Every structure is written in structure tokens, then in C-alpha cells.
Amino acid sequence: MNNLDLEGRGAVVTGSTSGIGLDIARALAAAGANVMLNGFGDRDDIEAIRRALADENGITVGYSGADLSDGDAATGLIAEAEAAIGTVDILVNNAGIQHVAPVDEFAAAKWEAIIAINLSSAFYTTAAALPGMKAREFGRVVNIASAHGLVASPFKSAYVAAKHGLVGLTKTVALEVAQTPITCNAICPGFVQTPLVDGQIDDQAKAHGLSRDDVIRDIILESQPSKRFVESAHISDLALFLCGPAGGSITGAALSIDGGWTAR
């Protein structure tokens, strides 16, 4: 879906060095937006991604290694982006981590990190980006939540709490800016095969003495009626749609893209 013209718009995608965030950054870049990348990884690999995106699309692409577990760094990312790409008209809060353990064995540091990265960072970036969006009378905030923003699974207390919180933040921001040309929505994917989920597959295979295929079929996709992973490209197409003109009346929504998971 590359018929959307986002030329001249500036987009920040948090956690865009890998997985879903990188695909969203690629989609926004292909639609002509200048893009600010963020996330961790090998510096040479990230620089190669940055340069390829810029060269292939004739746009400006910046990169910030801001650690979004730190609120000040999350706020600072918006100023860094304004310096690198001009404006922040589109904000995709995508950075996220996972940790799986029973609640009474959940390491406090893991709880704090998940709440900070998966939820609080979106508060800081949104608060920093909104004034510019209001001044320019255009804005799109897209929060990558999860099916776990709508329903729970055991052993994912911090992740489920953070993603439910992110859906709540989405609705509140949407209401606050409802009478402006700014929208705020959450996308709630089911399981997508990315490094984040690959880590879970490996952990479960080890814990239960199963093969990766058994874990995918019997554990990971157990709750996903389609029995297929959600395609990352389908999420970036939806994000792109929300950022374009046709997305202008959609706000405060939690949009499921989960192979039927939350229809149960």
C-alpha cells in the first residue's frame, strides 16, 4: 500500500532496528516520510539500514540509540528527531520487551523495565510530540499494543499490564485531541514471528523439552484461531493506512490484527 503520499512528513518509530518497528519504518519511508530510527543493535548494521532507507527512498533518515527505559531519554528522542528530520508528524510507539514468569516469581527489575519501555515511554514521547503536532495541525500517534492489551495470558503480568495501559493511554490521548486533526490509535497484533517471539519459542522449547515446531503449534499459536503467525507487513500496512488521509476519522481505536484471537 504505497499510494499514500507522506512526503515532507517526519516520522519517529521507536524500537525500529528490528521486527515490526523496522517494517513500519520501511513502509513509512517508502511512502516518502523522513524517518527517525531508534533501538538497539549492532552499530554497523543499523547504519547500513539507515543509509539504505535514505538512499532507496530519497528521504532523510536519522537514528537515535535513546534507551526508552529512561523517561528523560524518551522525551529527548523527540527533540533529537526534530533536529535530525525536521518535524515529528507521525509517532509510532513500538519499542517493547517481554519477560515470562509467574507473578510471585516475577523479578521486580523485569516488571519495572517492561512498564517503562512498553508503557511509560509512550507517555513521554507523546507528551513531547503533541505540541508540535498541534502547532502544525496534523498528527498521527500509533501505539503498537498487542492482543495482550485486550485479553490476558498467564505468566505475562507486566506485559499484559503495560499493554492494557497502552490501550488506555491511547483512548485518553485520542479524547484530548479529538477536536484537532491529530489521531491516536492502538494496533493490537497477535503473534508475529520476530526476534521477540523467537526468544519465547526457544525458552518454551527448553522448559518443556519440546521441538520449536511443537512449541509453535501447541503453545504459541494455541490461542490464535488462524493457526498462522500474523504477518508483520500486514501491521505496517495498517499503520500506514492510519497515517494517511483515510485514517483521519479513526481515533481512540484498539485495532485487532490477531488471526481471530480476541474474537473468542
- Return the number of the residue (4 or 261) whose C-beta is nearest ligand NAD: 261
Q: Rounded to whole angstroms, how far apart are CA atoms 147 and 151?
A: 6
Q: How far is the CB of 58 from ligand NAD (least distance, A)?
A: 24
Contact 73, 125 (CB under 8 A): no
DSSP string, 158-186: HHHHHHHHHHHHHHHHHHHTTTTTEEEEE
Strand order in the sheet with 139-144: 61-64, 34-38, 10-13, 90-93, 139-144, 182-189, 254-257
Which among 69, 64, 116 is positioned nearest to 88, based on CA atoms? Answer: 64
Residues of this chain that bind ligand NAD (CB under 6 A): 15-21, 38-41, 67-69, 94-97, 117-118, 144, 146, 189, 191-192, 194-197
In the complex with ligand NAD, the residue whose CB is nearer, 33 or 235, is 235
At its nearest, how many Å lie between ligand NAD and the CB of residue 163? 7
Alpha-carbon gap, residue 121 to 56, rounded angstroms: 30
Nearer to ligand NAD, 5 or 222 (CB): 222
Helices and strands in the chain, H and E counts? 9, 7
Asked if 50 and 76 touch (Cβ cutoff 8 Å), the reply is no
Cell of 58: 530519497
Q: How far is the CB of 74 from ligand NAD (least distance, A)?
A: 8
Q: State the cell numbers at 139.
A: 498528527
Q: State how far the Cα of 147 lies from the Cα of 257, in Å rounded to an integer.
A: 8
Shortest distance, CB of residue 33 to ligand NAD, whole angstroms? 18
Catalytic option among 111, 123, 124, 159? 159
Q: What is the C-alpha separation between 226 and 234, in angstroms, rounded?
A: 15
Verify whether residue 124 is a known catalytic residue.
no
The residue (of 6 and 167) whose beta carbon lies closer to ligand NAD is: 167
Strand partners, 144: 187
> What minimum distance in Å lies between the beta carbon of 187 and ligand NAD?
8
Give the nearer residue to ligand NAD in terms of CB position, either 42 or 104: 42
Catalytically annotated residues: 159
